[in-house]
Structure 1
Amino acid sequence: MNAYDLKSSGSPGEDLRIWVRASEGRSLAERTLPRAEVDRFVREIETACGEPSADLAALGRRMYDWLNGLGGAWLDGALSESAGLVLRIECEEGLGELPWELLGKDGFLASGRHGLFSPYRIVSEGERPFPPAGRALRIVFAACSPEDVRPVLNTEAEEATVLNGGRLLPVELFFEETGTLEGLAELVGSREPGWFDVLHLTGRIEMSGPEPVFLMENDIGFRKAASPADLVGALAGTPRLICISGREAGVSAGQGGLPLFCRRLAAAGRLSVLGRTLAVGDQSSAVVAAGLFAHLVQGGRLDEAVGLAREQLWRSESKAWHFLRFYSAGAIPEALVDPARAGGLPSPEPKAPPEYLDDIGLVPVGGRMGFVGRRRAVQHGLRVLRSARGDEGYAEGVLLHGRDGMGKSCLASRLCERIETHRRLVWTGRIDEAGLLNRIEEQADLGDSGSFLNHPGLILAQKLRRLLAEPLRERPFLFVFDGFDPNLEHVKGKASLKAEPLHVLKALLAAIRETESASRVVITSRHFFELPRPVRLHALPVEPMSAVEVEKKTVRLPGLHRLMRVDRSHFDRSLVLAEGSPSLIDRLDAVAGLKDFDYETLLANLAQAEPEARNETLTRYLLEGRDQASLRVLAWLSLFELPVSRPVVEAAAGAPVAESLLAELASLGLAQAGLDAPEGETGYIVPWGLRTQAGRVLSEEDVSQGCGRSASYLYQRWRRTPEDDIRWAIEAHRLAILSGDGTTILEIGTLLTHVLNRRAHHRQAATIGRLSVNWGENVRLLTGLGQAERVTGRTSDARGRFERALTIMDRSGRDPGTDLDRAIIQANLAELLATQGESSKALELWQTALPMIRAAGDPETRAGAFVNIAGLMEERGEVEKAQALWENALELLDAMDDPGVKGATLVNLAGLLAKKGRTSRAFRLWRESLDCWEKTGDERGKAAALAAMASLSAAKGDLDRALGFGYEAIEIRRRIRDGRGQADMLVSLAGWEGKQGRRDRQRELHIDAVKVLGDLSAWVELFKVLAILGTTERKDGPVFLAQALRLGIWVGIPVEDFIHVAILLFNQIGPASDLAPLIATAAHYFVQSTSAGHPKKQELEEKTTRLLAACAEVRDVPHKKIGEWFTKKGLDDPEQFIPALTRALEETVGEYNWLFSRKVFKRPTWFSS
């Protein structure tokens, strides 16, 4: 092909110089034309071209004559050579953007009658040179169609036609599946520069003011405009060719912003851009792609490939063939690839190691970069998971439901990845309350802030509300329940939750809703199920993959890719039988790549099975084809619930096991591989659904012996470094129980219980300890179990454990070497007795233990003993002795140089001195504690010391000093998000400001406290602050008291507090108010329904009866007719007066005066229906 340059130059307002040169620099034509004449010519062509009935041939001839007439009929001469013609256009935008593709003499040059014709526009200098790559052409496809831009484009249809053509070419196809700029950047950035050759981009172009933008999607599927500069930044300079198939609604094909977008994209990125504006619904891009790529894969020139693609469009009778426009920064690359060095047809890259939904490696999912399709499902799920209460479509989580093998776990993993602000807690199988709390303790890293999870007086709902409102408010979780079906039961073909899972799930979802937490729930299940309102899971059905998604998936699978080339019939039958199941496709890919495998028989077996059973049929077929030796290895592997390496399997088998055999089992999908095992080697595990079937070849004796050997192996390895991942010790303990080896169970259980207690995993420690004592007892195990049970609220059991441990020690005789163990047991028992009110007995135990602790204990243990005994003595009024022990503790702590423990002891001692009136010394110790907290970085301790100093200053009447300490403390508590500490300090500050006469500031602080407590769902405390506001703010007192009473109706408020507020509001509004009888009736009813056994029940009934009597009296209701009046007003029916009271209270408050959300409450538990 001969190349010619068309150029122009001239400043605005001046005549325009236009010239043509041959590629070797020879001048062929040159003219200087008036600017107005050129502008008129451009306008006439553009206007005519935009007409629906434009005569394109006439326009092409007119443009030909104009160009030919620049001098010497140069264009006639160029055509006479019949070698094809490349026209490189480097003119200003008006002249350069004319449809030179229409050029024609006795027909369009693009039709090929004079040889290949390929015009392109040069927009800047300096495309970076890249030599042709010696490999197959690599193409990335990306399609964008935001759901909030109508009509939504049918991008799948275009992808399907391009895919069908691409399968026949030696190309490597890649797909960006999110439609986002970030996803495109991640894909391109995952490879080195120059790795990809072509980006094919489909979507909409529109003008944003004077700037053209490409409409991409954000991660929830809505529009996100990308400028040329945005795209260049995301692509980091590669690929070298970008093909844009741009749709524009409301404009004629070829008009709009795409030409300008392509020009600016090519200039900004110093690359080549091929763009085509299409009307919405036009699907002819496949013709362009086929013609373009077919030439490029053969090492053809880029300008030739574009010319051939345009010629094919013209031959296909496309009405918009001439709008295929090519732009380049400087000279275009001669070729993108060199097929002579490619080495034959390309094969897909080896499959990446699997990723996992959980952190253990039990739930394998496809890698993020290999994830195909499901874009809308991901986007819709993200909308729900990021929604806030009150948003349209809000729910506390999503339910991904669909039959086995549809990729539900993989989809859940993608959702987790996209919610980057949340940590994930993954649970597989059956759920229960204890297990959920154990898992939270393990993964949430709560430390002391999670101690309430062990509080025996709190029900699950209360624990979860506090968990989400306090420690997890700024560290939200995604609670992922994978494989949820064991929690369901089926009645008349309908799935519903079993009792315990319903209790747990409802409590968790309600806590999310009531605290307005950012945490969310994701569930995967074969079945859809409903939940009782108001909690809700947004149901997302996970359907089979579409035909296009299957095509895109199989392009990257090496086994099926090979099968397609060697046996197309088997390939096509495989996809038909897979019926869009990504799991089955992956497994077929694994076996399709095996040599000497009877694939025909497998397909025949699959064809006879129902679609839901084909994964199981494949497993059964593979198992039937294995020899006995490999089946036994698989069975040994099935004993484990964590991924293990070859040495662990060998320990179970009691014989050598080849790594190659484990790898082969994994390649067949009978095991999962690629996990981190304890030794850092490749780990293997048998999938959950296969374990029972795989283990059938082992006898009971085999199982017992194998579990015993592997338990010992794992335990000995963990014992060398007991601070390593504790899950291996728990697994060793489980295996030891299966083996029935009591000695090993006790040994592992004893150490494990103490390690779990050290990590504050007390509930799990109690579980391990209780399982272990079924096989025997020892002093250390009983001590550790007692400690765990004491913390988790099983105090009676804990006391029995400690006393039993002491009995065993007494029977074994006095051994000075065990004095410290005895002292520790006595100390634990003393702490427990002290909490039960048996302080005398507790003190006696402490005093007995103290000499042993003094003799054998380390400084920290001795200091702790002094602190505990001092506390008991203080309670008994023995202040002098308590102070002496505090001082002893401080001396030990000074020697230890442990600022954390010393700080806590200083605070305790300061508090004791403050009670004795020794305030100067108390302040001095508190200030010293501040230095300790500064060293440790413990902001919480620092705030506590400042709060104590503020309270003591206020007690002494020094309110200015109290306010100074208090505001410093609250600033720290805000910074560390200590909600309860903030609220307490705000209430104190409000009281001190009020005493100073600053009533407005007092009101502001009280209202701030209410808002903080509302965020924490601390309803009882919030009720009390509203009551304070109601008494201190006379003008608005009824508004605050009405809110308190409205709150008190719907949450569990102590009866005395409720009646107190009811009386306050009653007195402020007076008995003649319409609200008064409702308040009096509800108060009386509350006393009768909730205060059985209350010591003040009679007194409270008398108070509420007086309220009722006052209402009757002011209405002149005779005593004998009070009952009739009650009935007439509906005051004898709680179904009437409770809703009436609620409405009346809300009217009293008004629409905009509420300080907390009323949406979070359910029916009151005391409200008898």
Structure 2
Amino acid sequence: MGVVYQAEFQYSKDGKELALTRTLPDGSQDTSPVNLKEISELEEICRDYKWNQSLDLSKQIGARLFSILNGDRQTLIRALEEADSYGECLQVILKDEGAPSNLPFELLYNIDFLVPSRIHLIRRVSDRGKKITSKTENRPLKILLMACSPQDVEPVLEFEKEEDTIFEVTKHLPVEIDVEDTGSLDGLGERLASNKYDVVHITGHADIDKKGEPFFLMEDEEGLLAQVTPSQLWKKLDLNLPRLVFLSGCRTGEAPEHVAAMSFAHHLVKGHVPIVLGWGLPVSDRGASFAAKKLYFELSRGENIPDALLRTRYELFEHYPDWSILRLFSDGTPLDVPLVKVGQMPRPKPRELQYTYLLSSQVKVLEKGFIGRRRQIQQGLRCLKRDTGKVGLLLHGTGGLGKSCLAGKFCERFKDHTLIVVHGDLNAYTFREALKDGFIRGNDAEGLKALEEKEEIPNIIRKLCPSAFQKRTYLILLDDFEKNIVRIKEGDLQICAEAVPIMEALLRYLSYSGKMTQLIITTRHPFSLTFEGKDLVKEKLESIGLTGVYKKSSKSNSSAK
């Protein structure tokens, strides 16, 4: 990639002397001693995170770092001039070993800050991937978003807003985005075991312990805190290594103040993840979300990683101080090759089609802005994905609590499933029409043929479950089911006569589909349906009760990940 300038710090064997070897664009090298006192002073200044909030102090640090890399032979200035003559940014490769390399070289300053506009700064962990021939894919960019928000960990991150923002900014671009909701290592592993992504984006809290070991605060199966090490995360990523991992958590790009200690991002690249982005200090929620939004916008339209990061950093520079703490770590894999081809035509997105169909079916859903139901989403997804004894979910609670919105979120997560929706009254006519509509949209000839048979709907359901419902993926949504419940005033809640046979058939036979087709019901009033002495509703549906959402105040402007 273009004009390259490489800098490598090397301590003497006794650690009393430090030298810097500069490799110039023409391949020649220049080695000179570095003043250890200057490095120590810079390290001391940077221990106080206030520099990130001070423009003047950032300029001072940046100028001193520029002077170190430039040397008395003006090598960096000459390299910049050469890059300018080609109309390119200069690629500065910093060998990422030892304490000096942890200094914030993203602040490089000479008349102006250079990294937001004239320099690609790359922290090279190894040369493992330098001979790899990267390929640009002629398909949409594939991203996996994963938020980690364990219970009782403060501050609570506004990850839903970040998710909505990324979906919105890439709405008209060729990108496919999946969301991993468990926030757990096992959940990530399940995704990567069967899916290949260009980018894995993990957002959450991260830190460094007293021993100098970096860790990420993820979740266990119950949503409780699980402290994850770089090696644990790498084992899951290795199931299907992405081209880029973005660790959007505090200090994921910062090396601890210990001998030979490495940052979380550095560890992952050592473990053969090609490229990792991390934050060198605590980062604001808004800064992190802004960076993700801009980065994925640029990558999805065919920009390579350094150019996308340059644009991202420039936009951050205009709005947030976090621009200087975003760090890129690499194993030498060529970075000038875009992940996906430029100029692709946008394609219909399953997620948006799901919401379009739900809205046209009179289901009151929110495509964005739905927050505060993480634990219910996790509970529901565990049931829909793993519990073979259940055929679906019963979402119940008083009006206005977001039952339909929660159902919509499940439909979004199962965006590859064809929806079969009945809003309100459930009877032979409404269900048959919903089936017909679903089979037409799913191009399911077998399902349509079954509907042509002159049989009662319960018998048709019984035949569909081991056939069409087993061969394809459907999600049956019965929304506002309270309209089918009678004797509410008497307190003896019962399903109306027209709905009973359909409900009975669904609850009895959907298990024959092998969880390829499942059921979601929203209702203000929980109910029961007894068959042969057993309550089918209790036995076959996971009950999720919704109450008022208690939202703690969130200082998103300043809260750090």
Q: Which residue of 2 aligns with 1:415?
A: 383
Call closer, same or farther: CA 1:525–1:20 in 2, change over 3 Å. closer
Q: Kindly provide the CA deviation profile for residues 78-125 of structure 1, in whole angstroms up to 9, marking residues without a partner as x.
A: 33342321111004331111111111111111342xxx3221101123
Amino acid paired to 1:30:
T
Residue 231 of structure 1, CA deviation: 1.1
User: Which one of the candidate residues 308, 312, 322 is aligned to 2:311?
Assistant: 308
Partner SS, residue 284 of structure 1: helix
- Change in Cα spacing, 1:42 to 1:378, as seen in structure 2 (3 Å) is same
Match in the other structure for 2:403: 543
Could you tell me how far 1:15 is from its partner in structure 2?
Answer: 2.2
Q: 1:156 to 1:17 in 2, by over 3 A?
A: same
- Determine the structure 2 residue equivalent to 1:644: 463
Tell me the residue number matched to 2:108: 103
Written as runs of structure 1 = structure 2, the 5 A alignment for 1:302-701 is 302-316=305-319, 318-339=320-341, 344-348=345-349, 375-377=374-376, 411=380, 414-415=382-383, 424=389, 524=394, 526=396, 543-545=403-405, 554=412, 557=415, 586-587=419-420, 612=424, 633=452, 635-636=454-455, 638-640=457-459, 643-644=462-463, 674-675=468-469
- Mapped contact 2:24–2:75 kept (Cα < 8 A): no
CA distance in 1, matches of 2:473, 2:125: 55
Q: Deviations over 1:1005-1029 (max 9, x none)?
A: xxxxxxxxxxxxxxxxxxxxxxxxx
Tell me the residue number matched to 2:59.
57
C-alpha separation in 1, matches of 2:409 and 2:255: 34
* Aligned mates of 1:276, 1:615 — CA distance in 2: 56
Please give the per-residue CA displacement for 1:422-456, whole angstroms capped at 9, x wherever unaligned. Answer: x73x6xxxxxxxxxxxxxxxxxxxxxxxxxxxxxx
Output the CA distance in 1 between the equivalents of 2:474 and 2:385.
24
Q: Deviations over 1:183-215 (max 9, x none)?
A: 101101113xxx310011100112233210111
Which of 180, 183, 186 aligns to 2:187? It is: 183
Give 3-state SS (helix, strand or coil) of 2:295's partner: helix
Cα gap change, 1:214 to 1:693, in 2 (>3 Å): same
Q: Which residue of 2 aligns with 1:7?
A: 8
Contact 1:673 1:685 in 2 (8 A): no
Question: For 1:660-705, what per-residue CA distance to the aligned partner results, in whole angstroms no more than 9, with x for missing partners?
Answer: xxxxxxxxxxx996345xxxx8999999999987999xxxxxxxxx
Report the CA distance shift for 1:153/1:330 in structure 2 as closer, same or farther (over 3 A). Answer: same
Q: Match of 1:167?
A: 171
Equivalent position of 1:74 in the other structure = 75
Question: 2:93 is matched with which residue?
Answer: 88
Q: Give ranges in structure 2 of 5+ residues lacking alignment.
A: 353-370, 440-447, 485-495, 502-511, 513-531, 533-561
CA separation of 1:616 and 1:201: change in aligned 2, threshold 3 A = farther
Distance between the aligned counterparts of 2:280 and 2:307, measured in 1?
21
The answer to whether the 8 Å contact 1:301/1:334 transfers is yes
Residue 157 of structure 1 deviates from its aligned partner by 1.5
SS at match of 1:66: helix
Deviation at 1:550, TM superposition (A): 5.1
C-alpha deviation, 1:285, in angstroms:
2.5
Residue 46 of structure 2 aligns with an amino acid whose one-letter code is E
Deviation at 1:229, TM superposition (A): 0.9
Q: Secondary structure at the match of 1:636?
A: coil
Equivalent pair of 1:6/1:19 in contact (CA under 8 Å): yes
Measured against aligned partners, the alpha-carbon deviations of 1:213-236 in whole angstroms (never above 9, x if no partner) come to 111100101111111111110011
Kindly state the Cα deviation for residue 640 of structure 1 after the two structures are TM-superposed.
1.4
For the pair 1:210 / 2:212, whether they are aligned, the reply is yes
Question: What do you get for the CA RMSD once the two structures are aligned?
Answer: 4.6
In structure 2, what is the equivalent of residue 133 of structure 1? 137
Tell whether the 8 Å contact from 1:205 to 1:247 is kept in structure 2 after alignment.
yes
1:125 aligns to what SS in structure 2? coil
* Matched letter for residue 40 of structure 2: R
Identical positions, percent: 24
CA distance in 2, matches of 1:15, 1:414: 57
Equivalent AA in structure 2 for residue 55 of structure 1:
L
AA matched with 1:301: N
Q: Which residue of 2 aligns with 1:299?
A: 302
Question: Residues 445-489 of structure 1: CA distance to partner in whole angstroms, max 9, x if unpaired?
Answer: xxxxxxxxxxxxxxxxxxxxxxxxxxxxxxxxxxx9x8xxxxxxx
Alignment-derived partner of residue 40 in structure 1: 40
Whether 1:238 and 2:241 are equivalent positions in the alignment is yes
Deviation at 1:329, TM superposition (A): 1.4
Using the TM superposition, give the Cα deviation of residue 542 of structure 1 relative to its aligned residue in structure 2, in angstroms: 7.7
Residue in 1 that maps onto 2:274: 271
3-state SS, counterpart of residue 133 of structure 1: coil
Does the 8 A contact of 2:242 with 2:273 survive in 1? no
Alignment partner of 1:119 is 2:121: yes
Residue type of the alignment partner of 1:123: V
Cα distance between partner residues in 2 of 1:60 and 1:322: 10
Partners of 1:641 and 1:685 in 2: CA distance: 17
Contact 1:204 1:214 in 2 (8 A): yes
What amino acid maps onto 2:376 in structure 1?
A
TM-score under structure 1 normalisation? 0.34
Cα 1:158/1:347, change in 2 over 3 Å: same
Deviation at 1:320, TM superposition (A): 1.8
Do the aligned partners of residues 644 and 685 (structure 1) sit closer, same or farther apart at CA in structure 2, a change above 3 Å counting?
A: farther
SS at match of 1:299: coil
Query: Whole-Å Cα distance in 2 between the matches of residues 273 and 32 of structure 1?
Result: 30
Superposed CA offset, 1:214-259 (max 9, x none): 11100101111111111110011511101111147xx9x9797998
* 1:621 Cα offset (Å): 6.9
Extract unaligned runs of 5+ from structure 1: 352-371, 382-410, 427-479, 483-522, 529-540, 560-584, 589-605, 646-670, 697-726, 728-763, 765-1169
Question: Are 1:623 and 1:631, in contact at CA under 8 Å, matched by a contact in 2?
Answer: no
Please show how residues 1103-1114 of structure 1 align to structure 2 within 5 Å: none
> 8 Å contact 2:304–2:339 — kept in the other structure?
no
Question: Could you tell me how far apart the structure 2 residues matched to 1:24 and 1:238 are?
Answer: 34
* 2:31 paired residue number: 30
Could you state the TM-score of these two structures normalised by the residue count of structure 2?
Answer: 0.66
Aligned partners of 2:265, 2:166: CA distance in 1, in Å?
22
For the residues of structure 1 that align with 2:143 and 2:429, how far apart are their CA atoms?
A: 37
Q: SS of the counterpart of 1:55?
A: helix
Q: Which has the higher helix share?
A: 1
Helix, strand or coil for the counterpart of 1:161?
helix
CA contact (8 A) 1:299 1:339 kept: yes
* Contact 1:259 1:325 (8 Å CA) reproduced: no
Displacement after TM superposition at 1:302 (Å): 1.7
> Could you tell me how far 1:173 is from its partner in structure 2?
0.7
Instruction: Note if contact 2:65-2:105 (Cα within 8 Å) is conserved in structure 1.
Output: yes
Amino acid at match of 1:299: G
Residue type of the alignment partner of 2:419: D
Partner Cα separation in structure 2 for residue 159 and residue 633 of structure 1: 43
Amino acid at match of 1:246: G
- Tell me the CA shift for residue 281 of structure 1: 5.4
The answer to whether the 8 Å contact 2:206/2:214 transfers is yes
2:135 & 2:17 partners in 1: Cα distance?
A: 41
- Residues 38 and 264 of structure 1, relative CA distance in 2, 3 Å threshold: farther
Q: Which has the higher contact order (CA 8 A, sep 6+)?
A: 2
Cα distance in structure 1, aligned partners of 2:472 and 2:37? 76
CA contact 2:165–2:293 (8 Å) conserved in 1: no
Q: Which secondary structure state, in structure 2, belongs to the residue aligned with residue 62 of structure 1?
A: helix
Aligned length: 444
* Residue 269 of structure 1: how far off its partner (Å): 2.7
Spell out, residue by residue over 1:542-579, the C-alpha distance to the aligned partner (whole angstroms, 9 max, x if none). Answer: 83336xx95895587479xxxxxxxxxxxxxxxxxxxx
Give the 3 Å change call, closer, same or farther, for CA 170–640 of structure 1 in structure 2.
Answer: same
CA shift at 1:169, angstroms? 2.0
1:526 positional shift: 4.8
**Contact 2:34 2:68 (8 Å CA) reproduced:** no
- Checking the alignment, whether the CA contact within 8 Å between 2:451 and 2:460 is kept in structure 1 is no
